[in-house]
Structure 1
Amino acid sequence: MTRHLLWRGMLAGLIGAFVAATFALLFAEPRIDAAIALEAAHAMPGMAEPELVSRATQKGFGLYTAMMLYGTALGGLLAILFAALHGRVGRTSPRGLALMLGLVAFLVIVLVPAIKYPPTPPAVGLHETVRMRTGAFFAMLTLSVAAATAAFMAYRRIATQQPLDRLLIAIGLYIAVVALLQLLLPKIDEVPADFPATLLWQFRLASIGTQGVFWLVTADLFGRLVEPRLSATTLRSWQVAS
């Protein structure tokens, strides 16, 4: 069964990535072009670095290739998590469980790290701190996933019989751990004072929106692909349990 779920998850992730890449091409890439043009306008003559990969390639073939590889991998991960949790989260339908996992993934992988380290256009930031900024972001991402895993384990082990109470305690634990981690991790703010605030926020919303589109499309499509196969089995198990 897991093998059948896995290829459906990878297919859903591939399609979700294609849709998300198209969203990024329409909404995020124009903001990147504007930021690069702004940087070029303020650069000293002769200081411009050679372009190793053209912008046309970056926002065409490069964008779609990177997003679809990313989406296929995360779609497979979604399928594995779904296989582990299906039948163990109340009487949630397959599509409902897939959408719930997609929402949790968006919050834990995208939104929470972005609160500490929001996305910025490539033209923003010092070249000397690229490694430090990248390391800090991936540390926040890893710790967010670890905190979510710990919260889920706590949810499973809490003695109370009230599912809502267990859920609220687990969510509170996750928020507390993440808040502490965000206080401990270094603060990074290298956006120039004269950088247009509207352009910055449009880019950030488009970047987060791209990830939101990916997880919504991937989770919903995966749920639709697996629901016909699993709904009858799930219904029979509920009837036996009743």
Structure 2
Amino acid sequence: MNARAFLVRGLLAGLLAGLAAFFVGYQVGEPHVEAAIALEEAGAADSHSHGEEPEAHSPAADEAGDEEVFKVSRETQRTWGLLTGSLTIGLAWGGLVALVAAGTLGRIGRFLPGQSTAVISLIGFVSVALVPFLKYPATPPAVGSGDTIGDRTALYFGFLLLSVASAVLATYLACRLRERIGTYGGVVAGIAAYLLVVIVAALVFAPVSELGDFPADTLWSFRLSSMLTLATMWGVLGVVLTGLVSRLYARETALAHRRELAASL
């Protein structure tokens, strides 16, 4: 079993995960995106109806407005755009998880290749998707100021990198302690160390609260659908990749046994 075999199976698993995420996102998430956009447009129309004057245009803005601007329709965004994004992310994460699983094979306990792949997938979901989402959950289009998007993006990716780094170190700590205090103690110590770091980081990192008077039920539905989409992608990725790696290991093990038997005759 080499890295290339893992990578090919990771890309296949990522492709299927991207398709599944697209289906869930389109069926579950897009209706709430449409509701948020409708609220945003209604708010803009209401501000105009109250007699607010439009902003003055500078000569530079007028010159820029004369240039042709390429705009993607909402229909394209919610169909082909969503599909392209889902497949791209699925392939990227599938290949990355597969390479990490190949690199850690035999280094995280006495797991079989399929078992270690499942562990890597679970750690990836928790550190990359779940924990950062709990600190900085997804927000619909009508929420948040354009002036703070850079700061909000930096906070999210900063917390994401910290979460991933903490998960890597916690896994290393668990493997080292396993030799001294056993598997149960090592796993508990690793989980406790990871939770300690991310909880302290969650308290230190600046909060983001720009909800205003956005309806709570719409916000909750949007965030729930976003989490379901993430869970679907990582769940399909982990299950499919684990199954493919397990089948590969079983086939190579059977082939090795047949060769040993043939050599002994």
TM-score by length of 2: 0.82
| Alignment of 1:151 onto 2:152 | no
Task: Return structure 1 stretches of 4+ with deviation > 4 angstroms.
Answer: 232-237
Alpha-carbon RMSD across the aligned residues, in angstroms, is 2.2
The worse-fitting range, judged by mean Cα deviation, of 55-64 and 87-96 is 87-96
Mapped to 2, the partners of 1:124 and 1:213 lie a distance apart of 25
Residues 1:162 and 2:163 aligned together: no
CA drift at 1:233: 5.1
Q: Is the 8 A contact 1:87 1:234 kept in 2?
A: no
Determine which of 57, 61, 67 is the counterpart of 2:86: 67
2:58 is aligned with 1:39? no
Instruction: Judge which range, 226-235 or 165-174, deviates more.
Output: 226-235
Which residue in the other structure is 2:198 paired with?
178
Q: Which runs of 5+ in 1 are unaligned?
A: 238-242
1:175-199 Cα distance to aligned partner (Å, 9 max, x none): 011111111111111011x211111
Larger Rg: 2
**Is structure 2 residue 101 aligned with structure 1 residue 100?**
no
Identity %: 37
CA distance in 2, matches of 1:90, 1:174: 18
CA contact (8 A) 1:148 1:174 kept: yes
Alpha-carbon offset, residue 157 of structure 1: 2.6
1:234 CA drift (Å): 6.2
Return closer, same or farther for 1:167/1:223 CA change in 2, 3 Å cut-off.
same
Question: How much does 1:91 deviate?
Answer: 4.6
1:116 to partner: Cα distance: 1.1
For these two proteins, the number of residue pairs brought into alignment is 234
Task: Give 2:99's match in structure 1, choosing from 73, 80, 84.
Answer: 80
Preserved CA contact (<8 Å) 2:108 2:175: no
TM-score, normalised via structure 1 length? 0.89
Q: How far apart are 1:201 and its partner, in Å?
A: 0.8
Tell me the residue number matched to 1:196. Answer: 215
Deviation track 1:118-146 (CA, whole Å, cap 9, x = no partner) reads: 11112111111111111100011010001
Which amino acid is the alignment partner of residue 70 of structure 1?
A: I
Residues 1:214 and 2:214 aligned together: no
Rate the CA distance shift 1:101–1:90 in 2: closer, same or farther, 3 A: same
